């Protein structure tokens, strides 16, 4: 992106004698007060010079730096704001918060909702997985979890807070006056930033080779690849709190100031000696080399060994260990935060990202020769450390540890199965003569079988495994953005409703309206009727649409579906029903039984999610719901399968809420107020657009933003019965349930079946289980007895058949049609013949019992004795040759083969031809 020079012609630079220079190494333009400056001040153009020699007056811990940053901006008129969650439930486009500005996109930055304060300051924990592969190798420049210091000013038209000049001045003063950095050591690099759908020019502040802040002047919205100017210009600063801390400490790596205790602990457990000098030199070198490529990392280690006059193998091992320790420290903190907000490791959405981190951590631990249990100990430490500031970590401690434990267990199982799968794949590759593992196979092995490229490499030493350097970053990238937005309405209708007056909605004010009068505004394609007002609920929020009728004149037409497009509601008529003319007065009538049932089911989902949260833990979120008239389903995130006892408890809790007859209150509320009052838990059903949210509150039990129709009070729901639990995907439990009369019908049906069973068994209900057990025992005994009889009968039959066998070139051929006989018995006879006489070949045809007579299922079994095989006979080949006579297929091994076909009338011919086939085969 070409940026105009004038974007950076800022009074602060001019007034303070900054010069605009061009970096001879990277070509960037940058601002500095030092006329002798030789480069832009950022690595790799400028190597780190702060390691062991910080440019600040004092050293700060991470907590102190956060306080310093917030205190400074508060003193300069900014209101401190508490951090937002790290899981971006209010957004449709991303899963995790990757920058403080995510908190305010899109509603605040686009002017839909006012900012919580203006200007404001926040230290926001952020997670980015885009550089996952570099976390470790760059010694702390890349982290997956970090705190972004955001000082934000929102400039509305005619209401300017501050813009570029003040932003840079505030930054510079904090560095120089606040921390004592020499003014001429700071450089500001010109740049253009884009993220989260917005863009604008920015400057990157660098000291001693470290970029510590990005000051963005957000003024564009990215649209269709172009830029549109926003009415609101936003100051979006990203102060890297961890990097600022590192700068003041000059520590050997960027991880040391963040995780002093955690690094000690992991190194101690793994028996790794921490060599500060080696680490510091490696960090210095890392700033000048491109470590994104494997060659860069190899080169770094070679130079380090040379520099310190050490054995390369020793350096290699020390750095590999350090990288693993860094990654474990970083990933476990990220996991603690993600899991504390109720994300369950799984194969989809944010759960996938959690799983990616958990598995990578487990692998790093293995590299350090540490078992999975080390993960839990390290996690305890992280929860303790970060829980001081972020209390949700401590509150969710047991859920975090439990979820991780389950995930480690799942990973072990997956790996075991994956190894079997991998062996098959390796076999296939060898057969095809492929010496290299294709990328899509590697991705699939990782995604579906938990096998990372390193493990694949170990297990398949003769196959080249060459994953791209950024394998994990690519995988994370594929799963990080663009939540799926289900497109239910035909795109084409959107254009058709343009210009039509918004439909007046009757179902919110008075959900009990069954019948209403309205006027026809428009009819589209003869099937979609638009009214000026309606009480028909359109499909949305997981609730299916109302059905009913429209009456006009003497006609009565069906409404089979209702959809909402923008602010216009379309009523779809039944096939062939005549549409009313535009302008006609109609009477709408809703199928009330159906709607009542939908309201009951819908209200029950709110009751059940409240119960799940209390029973299973705060991680239990709604992962999806579908409210239908007959039965509904509710998906809940949970890392274990529900036990029958838990299901019964959920039902009891729901029943308790029902009998308390708590009012279900609906109210419209500004988004920011709803978030402030109830927190982000209101987004159970996913992100909801708009300035005002419709909040549904069931006393203290549950509060959600929801656009559906509900009962007036919980008592109207009646009975809530969970009919079954399914597992649509890992980490999600699906409750199938029914309410009110529907629930009663299911229970009545279950009782009816019980009664019938009880009658058939001749046992009272409470003795039925024992009665069935007894039956099963009896059946087992009978089966045993039967098999003894079959054996005895078969033995007689075998004698008889061998006695009648024909002699063909030294082998004994038994070719016979056994008629209707069970498969087990036929098998027994066939194998006995070959065992009793090694020269025998048994060709036994039979028709399967109960599978149609005459032109029915025909089977041929072929067994060959050892000597017969030695003479060139192959039972599988014989079966294959005979199969066409019974119009089927066949095959097998030399000692046994079988054929099956649909034409039993071909059996005699097949048996006649057998002799010829045998002779042919023995001649070779």
Q: Which residues are at the interface with Zn ion (CB under 5 A)?
A: 23, 25-26, 39-40, 45, 696, 706, 708
Q: Which are the contacts of 68, defined by CB distance < 8 A and separation ≥ 6? A: 60, 178, 179
Residue closer to Zn ion, measured from CB, 18 or 95: 18
Nearest CA-CA partner of 278 in 237, 319, 327, 332: 319
Residue closer to Zn ion, measured from CB, 607 or 842: 607
Nearest approach in angstroms of CB 141 to Zn ion is 15
Nearest approach in angstroms of CB 50 to Zn ion is 17
Nearest approach in angstroms of CB 170 to Zn ion is 25
Residue closer to Zn ion, measured from CB, 45 or 569: 45
Nearest approach in angstroms of CB 192 to Zn ion is 16
Residue closer to Zn ion, measured from CB, 111 or 686: 686
What's the rounded Cα separation, in Å, for the pair 914 and 257? 84
Residue closer to Zn ion, measured from CB, 40 or 370: 40
What's the rounded Cα separation, in Å, for the pair 710 and 717? 9
Judge contact between 386 and 393, C-beta under 8 A: yes
Nearest approach in angstroms of CB 508 to Zn ion is 12
Give the number of other Cβ atoms within 10 Å of residue 656's Cβ: 13
Residue closer to Zn ion, measured from CB, 207 or 357: 207
What's the rounded Cα separation, in Å, for the pair 78 and 315? 48
Residue closer to Zn ion, measured from CB, 45 or 181: 45
Residue closer to Zn ion, measured from CB, 284 or 627: 627
- Alpha helices (H) along 624-730: 644-659, 671-678
Nearest approach in angstroms of CB 5 to Zn ion is 18
Nearest approach in angstroms of CB 670 to Zn ion is 19
Token representation of residue 174: 């904090």
Residue closer to Zn ion, measured from CB, 8 or 69: 8
Token representation of residue 256: 């040391």
SS (H, E, C) 269-318: HHCCCCCHHHHHHHHHHHCCCCCCCHHHHHHHHHHHHHHCCCCHHHHHHH
DSSP codes of every residue in 120-162: EEEEEEEE--TTGGGTTTTTTS--SEEEEEEEEEEEBTTB---
Q: Indicate the SS3 state at residue 452.
A: coil
Token representation of residue 136: 């470790």
Helix (H) or strand (E) holding 606: helix 592-616
Sheet holding 692-698, edge to edge: 664-670, 692-698, 702-705
Characterize 72-94 residue by residue with b for buried, 16 or more Cβ atoms within 10 angstroms of its Cβ, and e for exposed: bbeebebeebebbbbbbbbbeeb
Nearest approach in angstroms of CB 205 to Zn ion is 14
Nearest approach in angstroms of CB 718 to Zn ion is 17
Characterize 128-166 residue by residue with b for buried, 16 or more Cβ atoms within 10 angstroms of its Cβ, and e for exposed: bbebbbbbbbbbbbbbbbbbbbbbbbbbeeeeebbbbeb
Residue closer to Zn ion, measured from CB, 39 or 109: 39
Nearest CA-CA partner of 143 in 334, 382, 378: 334
Residue closer to Zn ion, measured from CB, 256 or 606: 606
Nearest approach in angstroms of CB 23 to Zn ion is 3
Angle at 680 between CA 132 and CA 376, to 5 degrees: 45
Nearest approach in angstroms of CB 178 to Zn ion is 26
Residue closer to Zn ion, measured from CB, 25 or 750: 25
Nearest approach in angstroms of CB 706 to Zn ion is 3
Nearest approach in angstroms of CB 499 to Zn ion is 31
Nearest approach in angstroms of CB 543 to Zn ion is 7
Residue closer to Zn ion, measured from CB, 191 or 671: 191
Bond preceding residue 471 cis, omega within 30 of 0:
no
Residue closer to Zn ion, measured from CB, 606 or 721: 606
Q: Look at the alpha carbons of 608, 614, 616, 619 in this order and tell me if their dihedral is positive or negative.
A: positive
Residue closer to Zn ion, measured from CB, 535 or 696: 696
Nearest approach in angstroms of CB 220 to Zn ion is 25
Nearest CA-CA partner of 721 in 756, 745, 705: 745
Residue with tokens 């997670």: 127
Nearest approach in angstroms of CB 738 to Zn ion is 17
> Which residues on adjacent β-strands are paired with residue 199?
194, 220
DSSP codes of every residue in 51-106: TTS-SSSS---HHHHHHHHHHHHHHTTPEE-PPPPSB-TT-SSBSB--SGGGGGTT
Token representation of residue 273: 């000696």
The count of residues in the chain is: 924
Q: Indicate the SS3 state at residue 513.
A: coil
Q: Which are the contacts of 576, defined by CB distance < 8 A and separation ≥ 6? A: none
Nearest approach in angstroms of CB 277 to Zn ion is 28
Nearest approach in angstroms of CB 296 to Zn ion is 17
Residue closer to Zn ion, measured from CB, 47 or 838: 47
Token representation of residue 233: 């210009």
> Which residues on adjacent β-strands are paired with residue 663?
713
- Here the contacts of 488-491 (C-beta below 8 Å, separation 24 or greater) are 488/539, 488/563, 489/563, 489/564, 489/565
Beta strands in 574-710 (DSSP E): 585-590, 622-627, 632-637, 664-670, 692-698, 702-705
Q: Which are the contacts of 391, defined by CB distance < 8 A and separation ≥ 6? A: none
Residue closer to Zn ion, measured from CB, 21 or 87: 21
Residue closer to Zn ion, measured from CB, 602 or 812: 602
């Amino acid at each position: 992106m070409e940026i105009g020079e004038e974007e950076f012609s800022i009074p602060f630079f001019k007034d303070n004698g900054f010069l605009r220079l061009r970096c001879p190494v990277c070509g960037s333009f940058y601002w500095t007060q030092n006329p002798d400056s030789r480069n832009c001040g950022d690595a790799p153009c400028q190597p780190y010079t702060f390691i062991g020699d910080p440019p600040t007056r004092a050293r700060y811990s991470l907590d102190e730096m956060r306080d310093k940053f917030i205190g400074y901006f508060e003193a300069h008129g900014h209101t401190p704001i508490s951090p937002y969650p790290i899981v971006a439930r209010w957004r449709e486009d991303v899963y995790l918060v990757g920058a403080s500005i995510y908190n305010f996109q899109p509603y605040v930055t686009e002017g839909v909702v006012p900012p919580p304060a203006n200007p404001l300051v926040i230290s926001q924990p952020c997670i980015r997985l885009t550089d996952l592969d570099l976390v470790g190798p760059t010694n702390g420049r890349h982290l997956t979890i970090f705190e972004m210091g955001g000082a934000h000013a929102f400039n509305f038209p005619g209401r300017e807070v501050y813009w570029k000049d003040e932003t840079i001045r505030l930054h510079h003063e904090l560095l120089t006056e606040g921390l004592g950095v020499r003014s001429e050591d700071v450089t500001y690099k010109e740049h253009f930033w884009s993220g989260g759908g917005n863009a604008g020019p920015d400057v990157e502040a660098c000291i001693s080779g470290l970029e510590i802040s990005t000051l963005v002047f957000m003024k564009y919205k990215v649209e269709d690849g172009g830029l549109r100017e926003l009415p609101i210009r936003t100051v979006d600063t990203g102060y890297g709190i961890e990097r600022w801390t590192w700068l003041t400490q000059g520590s050997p790596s960027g991880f040391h100031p963040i995780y002093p205790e955690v690094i000690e602990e992991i190194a101690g457990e793994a028996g790794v000696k921490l060599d500060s000098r080696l680490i510091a030199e490696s960090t210095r070198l890392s700033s000048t080399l491109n470590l994104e490529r494997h060659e860069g990392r190899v080169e770094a280690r070679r130079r380090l060994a040379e520099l310190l006059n050490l054995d390369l193998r020793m350096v290699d091992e020390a750095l590999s260990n350090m990288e693993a320790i860094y990654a474990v420290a970083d990933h476990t903190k990220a996991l603690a935060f993600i899991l504390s907000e109720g994300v369950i490791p799984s194969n989809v959405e944010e759960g996938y990202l959690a799983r990616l981190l958990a598995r990578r951590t487990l692998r790093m631990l293995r590299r350090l020769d540490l078992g999975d249990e080390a993960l839990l100990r390290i996690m305890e430490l992280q929860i303790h450390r970060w829980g001081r500031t972020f209390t949700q970590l401590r509150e969710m401690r047991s859920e975090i540890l439990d979820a991780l434990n389950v995930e480690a267990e799942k990973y072990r199982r997956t790996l075991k199965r994956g190894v079997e799968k991998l062996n098959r794949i390796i076999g296939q590759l060898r057969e095809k003569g492929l010496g290299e593992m294709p990328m899509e196979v590697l991705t699939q092995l990782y995604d579906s079988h938990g096998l990372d490229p390193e493990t694949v490499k170990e297990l398949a030493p003769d196959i080249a495994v060459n994953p791209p350097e950024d394998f994990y970053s690519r995988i994370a990238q594929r799963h990080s953005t663009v939540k799926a937005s289900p497109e239910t309405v035909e795109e084409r209708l959107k254009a058709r409703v343009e210009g039509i007056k918004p439909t007046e909605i009757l179902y919110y004010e008075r959900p009990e309206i069954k019948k209403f009068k309205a006027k026809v505004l428009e009819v589209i394609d003869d099937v979609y009727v638009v009214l000026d007002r309606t009480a028909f609920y359109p499909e949305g929020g997981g609730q299916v649409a109302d059905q009913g009728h429209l009456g006009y004149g003497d006609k009565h037409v069906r409404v089979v579906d209702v959809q909402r497009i923008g602010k216009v509601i379309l009523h779809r008529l039944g096939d062939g029903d005549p549409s009313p003319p535009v302008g006609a007065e109609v009477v709408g009538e809703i199928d009330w039984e159906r709607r009542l049932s939908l309201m009951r089911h819908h209200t029950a989902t709110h009751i059940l999610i409240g119960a799940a949260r209390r029973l299973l833990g705060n991680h239990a979120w709604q992962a999806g719901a579908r409210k239908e008239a007959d039965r509904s389903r509710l998906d809940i995130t949970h890392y274990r399968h529900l036990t029958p006892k838990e299901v019964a408890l959920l039902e009891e809790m729901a029943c308790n809420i029902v009998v308390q007859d708590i009012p279900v209150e609906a109210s419209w509320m500004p988004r920011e107020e709803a978030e402030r009052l109830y927190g982000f838990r209101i987004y159970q059903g996913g992100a909801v657009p708009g300035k005002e949210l419709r909040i549904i509150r069931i006393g203290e039990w549950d509060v959600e933003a929801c656009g559906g129709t509900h009962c007036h009070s919980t008592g109207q729901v009646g009975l809530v019965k969970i009919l079954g639990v399914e597992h649509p995907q890992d980490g999600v439990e699906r409750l199938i349930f029914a309410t009110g009369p529907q629930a009663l019908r299911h229970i009545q049906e279950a009782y009816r079946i019980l009664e019938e069973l009880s009658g058939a068994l001749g046992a009272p209900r409470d003795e039925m289980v024992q009665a069935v057990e007894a039956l099963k025992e009896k059946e087992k005994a009978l089966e045993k007895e039967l098999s003894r009889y079959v054996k005895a009968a078969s033995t007689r039959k075998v004698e008889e058949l061998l006695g009648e066998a024909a002699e063909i070139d030294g082998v004994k051929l038994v070719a016979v049609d056994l008629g209707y006989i069970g498969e087990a018995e036929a098998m027994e006879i066939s194998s006995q013949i070959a065992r009793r006489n090694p020269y025998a070949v048994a060709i036994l045809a039979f028709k399967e019992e109960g599978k149609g007579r005459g032109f029915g299922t025909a089977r041929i079994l072929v067994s060959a004795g050892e000597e017969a095989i030695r003479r060139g006979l192959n039972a599988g080949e014989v079966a294959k040759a005979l199969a066409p006579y019974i119009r089927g297929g066949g095959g097998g091994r030399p000692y046994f083969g079988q054929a099956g076909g649909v034409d039993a009338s071909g059996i005699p011919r097949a048996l006649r031809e057998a002799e010829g086939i045998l002779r042919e085969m023995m001649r070779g």
